[in-house]
Each structure stands twice: as structure tokens, then as C-alpha cells.
Amino acid sequence: MSEREHWGSRTGFILAAAGSAIGLGNIWKFPFITGMYGGAAFVLAYLICIALVGFPVMLIEFAIGRRTQRNPVGAFKALAPGTPWFMVGGLGVVAVFVILSYYSVVAGWTLGYIFAAISGAFHNLAEPSQAKDYFENFGADPFKTIICHLFFMALVSFVVIKGVKKGIEKWSKILMPLLLVILVVLMIRGLTLPGAEDGVNFLVKPDFSKLNGNTILVALGHAFFTLSLGMGAMITYGSYLSRKENLLSSAVIIVFLDTFIALMAGIAIFTAVFAHGLAPDGGPALIFHVLPTVFPHIPGGYFFGILFFLLLFIAAITSGISLLEVVIAYFTDEKGWSRKTAVIVFGGLVFLVGVPSALSTGPLADWKIFFGMTFFDFMDYMSFKYMLPLGGFLMCIFVGYYWGAKEFIDEIKSGNPAFSLRPVAAMVLITIAGILILITLVTGILGVGA
Ligand code: TRP
């Protein structure tokens, strides 16, 4: 077997992993769920979930990946031969089809919106109701949604086909700094709008009466999604790391960057929304219905409109890459496929699975075969609510009670000899994370947090 490809540098790895984590979850989802679930109180719940659950699970994934130097299925097979644990990795490979197929559709919308912004289409959108009509017309056009989805998958495949160093790492090193620059520009624009304080206050002054069980459930589900956890994406990226790398400090940096970017995106968006007296609780369509009506009113709005959708697109592409890489790693490691064949076959398959999602805002809008949800909503719901938390929960059990806290600590120590934690303490931390996930899952299944 040829030698496994590794990241070319620590910065390259951190940017690639941050690129995976920072995505539509940060710039599309975080702002709209914060708007729906009460602002600062939700932000606080989310930060706690990131610290207590997200961070340990990220370390667990990195440790499993680096120790085994394998894709998620191969990793569990190596650590637990002859047991059904490999199915946890299998769940991750399946999750790629569920997540990436609809993720690519939303990414496609952002692409369509870049063109709309360039063509000056937002200029005629004075009212949110007009922006809503615009979005509905766009979504209803199967040709547009499918072409945009196809284009996004083609770009993702183009990068992944080139491999870890020359594809994923190279593009992450270009795109992530660009993303940061665009976001800083947009945030400064937001903060200098008259009335911007209301937007900032919405994010930092908690109203605890808004905090309830459901808020916490959503915050926890989002912690998984935003950090790309629960399905082996971080196992895969960890598997391209060498023993010398410091896992702990890498995870700290990645979690910090992800959270920081989400908060910056929140500021950029809510300052604009509040400055125009619009409602923060617009739901999933917040940035598509509300923001286009803001741009025509602000100086330089034409330019900022283009930048905003470009920002979303960049964020989406580095995340899409990490999703596709999970299946590619599986087929190249376990089945001996060439990278090229695997990318063409599975990039194509994910595209096909995504077609019903691309049609869910148009011809298939009334096709509600799953619990009254469209295909698109069902894909989102299944992954965010069940698959990722389930994957994360099983990984906690695996490390805490099968592989063992001592091995886990040893893996963190490699590359960071000064690290010390007693196995009992690690067990306690892993168990707390596991219990929190379990509560979320059970309440979700019982319908409390629907
Ligand atoms: N974290 C990304 C976002 O915030 C989405 C993502 C990429 C993801 N890879 C993942 C989510 C793996 C779950 C699992 O948009």
C-alpha cells in the first residue's frame, strides 16, 4: 500500500479543519437560529455546549483518526477488530450523502445569489415581501437550483480530486484568509450603520426568560453541526496528521476560530437587520429574505451584497470538501479505489441524491412523504437532530468504555508531552459529554424538542 498522504504543515491542517468547521452553519444557520431562539441567551447555551460537548468530541475524533491513520470505518476496525464498532464509521459515510446532498443545494442558492447581486437584482427589492417573492421564484426554478447544485458539487470534486496537500490544503490556505477579510469588512460595515447597537445588544444581552429545554437542545445539535462532528469528518482530517502534531492546541484554535467567525457573522447580520428595523426571527430564509432588502439602503450596498454571498459560498465550499473527503477516504483506504474514480463516482452520486432537495423549493414542494416534511427539510432534520448526535454519543462511549481513557490520553500526549490528565478525570469529562448528548437525543425522539 502506498504511504498515506499527510498535511504539508500545521497551519495547512488547522486551516483545512477550520475550513470544514466554518461553513453555512456559521453564517447561515447560527444567525437564524439565534434570531429564532432568543438572541444572547441562546448564544450562551451554545457556548456552553461547545465547551462541554463539542470540544471533547473534536479531540476524540482527532485522536481516533491520528492513532489509526485510517478513514472512519477503517479506524474503528483497527481499534476494535471483529466488533460492530465499525458501524459508527459506516454511519458517518452514510451521513455524507444526507448532509452534503442538501448542503450543496443551499450552497448553490448562494451561488445564484452572487450572480443576482452582480446583476443588480437586489436593487428592486425594497421590502422583505419582495425579497421573499424573489427567493421563492428562484427556488421554484428547477433549472437554476439544479445547475447551481451541480456547479457546487463540481467545484468540490475538482478540489478533492487533487488530494490532501495539493487540493484540500492548498485551497483552504487561499480561501480561509479571504473569508476572514471579507467578514471583517462586512462586520465593520454593519457596526458603522446607524442603530447598530441594537443588533449588538441582541447578541450580548441575554434575556434568560427565553432559555428553555428546547433552546438547549437546538444549541447542542448546532454545536455538532458547526464543528463538523459526529460523522468522522474530523477522524478523516486527523488521519492525515503525524504523531508530532499537538492535538490539544489544534482543537483549541479550531474551536475558537469557528466560534469567533459565527459571532462575527452574527454581528454583521444583526446590525444590518436591526438598523433597518426588521425582525430577527426570519428563520432559515433570514439571509435570503431579509438581507437583500437591506443592501439597497446602505452606502456601498451593491458591493457589500456581492461580498456577503461570496463569503457564504467560500464558507460552504471548504465544508463541502471535508464532507466529500470522508467517503473518498473510505473507498480509497478500504476498497483500494483510486482517488479519481472515487471522486467522480461519489461526487456524482451525492449530486443525484441532492436533486430531490434541489427540487424541494419548486416542483417537489408538496412532496411531503416524511413526517410532513419536504425531502430537503427531512435531510436537514435527520442529520442535525439525530445522526450527528448519535455518532458523537457512540464515539464518547467508544473512547470512554472500550478503547479506554488511558489510550486516549496517550494519543493526546504524543506531540504534546507536557499534557497530563488522569484517566478518571478524562472519563468524567467524556461521561458528562455523553450524558448531555443522550438527553438531547432522547428528548428529541420523544418530540419534546420538535
Ligand atoms: N461544519 C460545517 C458548517 O458549519 C458543515 C459540515 C462540514 C459538517 N463537515 C461536516 C457538519 C461534517 C457535520 C459533519 O457549515
Say how many Å lie between the CA of residue 23 and the centre of ligand 1.
Answer: 7
**Cα torsion for 291, 224, 73, 242, to the nearest 10°?**
90
Q: Which residues line ligand 1 (CB under 6 A)?
A: 20-21, 23-26, 99, 225-226, 228, 231, 233, 319, 322-323, 388
Spatial separation of the C-alpha atoms in residues 350 and 347, rounded to whole Å:
5
Contacts of 60 (CB under 8 A, 6+ apart): 395, 396, 399, 408, 430
What local confidence, expressed as pLDDT, does residue 294 receive?
82
Counting the structural domains of the chain, the total is: 1
For the segment 205-232, what is each residue's pLDDT rounded down to a tens digit? 888 888 777 788 789 889 999 999 999 9
**Cα torsion for 77, 80, 86, 88, to the nearest 10°?**
-140
For 224-255, the three-class secondary structure string (H helix, E strand, C coil) is: HHHCCCCCCHHHHHHCCCCCCCCHHHHHHHHH
Spatial separation of the C-alpha atoms in residues 40 and 256, rounded to whole Å:
18
pTM: 0.94
Is 70 exceeded by the pLDDT of residue 1? no
What local confidence, expressed as pLDDT, does residue 89 receive?
97
What local confidence, expressed as pLDDT, does residue 386 receive?
86
Out of 17-26, 130-139, 169-178, 179-188, which region has the weakest mean confidence (pLDDT)?
Answer: 130-139
In a domain, 325, yes or no: yes
Spatial separation of the C-alpha atoms in residues 318 and 307, rounded to whole Å:
17
In a domain, 3, yes or no: no
Say how many Å lie between the CA of residue 197 and the centre of ligand 1.
Answer: 31
Atom of ligand 1 nearest to the CA of 234: 12
The CATH number for 405's domain is: 1.10.4160
Say how many Å lie between the CA of residue 195 and the centre of ligand 1.
Answer: 33
Spatial separation of the C-alpha atoms in residues 405 and 403, rounded to whole Å:
7
In a domain, 227, yes or no: yes
Contacts of 436 (CB under 8 A, 6+ apart): 49, 52, 53, 220
For the segment 56-115, what is each residue's pLDDT rounded down to a tens digit? 999 999 999 999 999 999 999 999 999 999 999 999 999 999 999 999 999 999 999 999
In a domain, 245, yes or no: yes
In a domain, 244, yes or no: yes
Say how many Å lie between the CA of residue 407 and the centre of ligand 1.
Answer: 27
301 in Cβ contact with 294 (< 8 Å)? yes
58 in Cβ contact with 64 (< 8 Å)? no
In a domain, 5, yes or no: no
For the segment 380-391, what is each residue's pLDDT rounded down to a tens digit? 888 878 899 999
In a domain, 1, yes or no: no
**What is the domain extent for residue 402?**
10-446
In a domain, 119, yes or no: yes
Q: Where are the beta strands (DSSP E) in 7-68?
A: none
